[in-house]
Amino acid sequence: MSTVLVTGGAGYIGSHACKALAIAGFTPVSYDNLEHGHAEAVRWGPLEQGDLADRARLDAVIAQHRPVAAMHFAAYAYVGESVTDPGKYYRNNVVGSLSLLEALRDHGIRACVFSSTCATYGVPQQLPLTEDHPQQPINPYGASKRMVERMLADFDAAHGLRSMSLRYFNAAGADPDGETGEGHDPETHLIPLVLDAAAGKRPHITVFGTDYATPDGTCVRDYIHVSDLADAHVLALRALLEGAATTAYNLGNGQGFSVREVIDCAQRVTGREVPAVLGPRRAGDPPTLVGDATRIRRELGWSPRLADLDTIIATAWRWHTRLDAGNR
């Protein structure tokens, strides 16, 4: 059975990708420093604790498991923190990725699926966003991911390391079987924050801005189920192993939901009230972010299975309630 090195495999999206890899017949080897990851989320293959900056440890893990490819999720991902502490993001996300790419090169691994982001596009010039939209990130987090995409292109040209960069929109939901889910600290994503308010774990949810040029005045975002993201990673991996060229794909549902719609849906799914407080706009929040995933649908045959908002929130709610039960 072929092994795949999964950096950040103990994290939210990485753990879902590990499950998808195992279902597809691969053995995922999670390489994670557990700063933000959770050892208990590693259930479908071995966990190797280590940091991307520790080249000796990385070499030893690769030499032991001899992966045929890598999936690279390990990164800091808080936009606000990246603005106040950019050095942390460039050191970890960029320098750490360089360490990984050099290790893959030196061990003869020629395929890498990279966890990128729609934040590489910056402020949308047209919607929905397509892959040929200019990449002009407006924060260090997006810039760090853009730099890794550039490094991947250069490593392909110089060393034949082919890659697929998957630019996510808003990952959401949890494994429908309840085996893994979202658990950030601090939590910044809208859906888990809304569910915390529904569960009484926070007094309210703050709606940042109600005067945008959107149907109900609140920001609109494209939410994609994390299991659908994981499936796309496996499709990308298979394509690379079969000789596909380096490229990038958007991953989104192609439709947006407003903050108010998310709150209303959460109240409907949970049967609980979600107290909301209206606040001012946050700097840098575009009114609408919606992606066009036509290319990956056409070229790799990807099709989201869990696309509707009720399903996304229902799976997240089951995970939330399970966590709450486990903490009692």
* Helix, coil or strand: residue 224: strand
DSSP string computed for 123-151: S-SSSSB-TTS----SSHHHHHHHHHHHH
What beta strand segments (E) does 234-286 contain?
A: 247-251, 257-258, 276-279
> Interhelix angle for 12-23 vs 226-241, to 10°?
60
Q: Is the dihedral of CA 294, 297, 298, 299 positive or negative?
A: positive
Based on the residue annotation, tell me whether 141 is a catalytic residue of this protein: yes
Q: Which of 76, 141, 212, 223 is catalytic?
A: 141
Q: Which of 36, 54, 306, 64 is nearest to 45 (CA)?
A: 64
Q: d(Cα 199, Cα 180) in Å, to the nearest integer?
A: 19
Extract the runs of DSSP E, i.e. beta strands, from the chain: 3-7, 27-32, 47-49, 69-72, 111-117, 162-168, 170-172, 205-208, 220-221, 223-225, 247-251, 257-258, 276-279, 288-289
DSSP, collapsed to helix, strand or coil, labels residue 5 as: strand
Nearby residues of 243 by Cβ (< 8 Å), 6 or more positions away: none
What is the C-alpha separation between 112 and 70, in angstroms, rounded? Answer: 5
The rounded distance, in Å, linking the Cα atoms of 326 and 220 is 33
What is the rounded CA–CA span in Å between residue 20 and residue 230? 6
CB 216 within 8 A of CB 287: no
- Amino acid (one-letter) located at 176: P
- Annotated active-site positions, please? 141
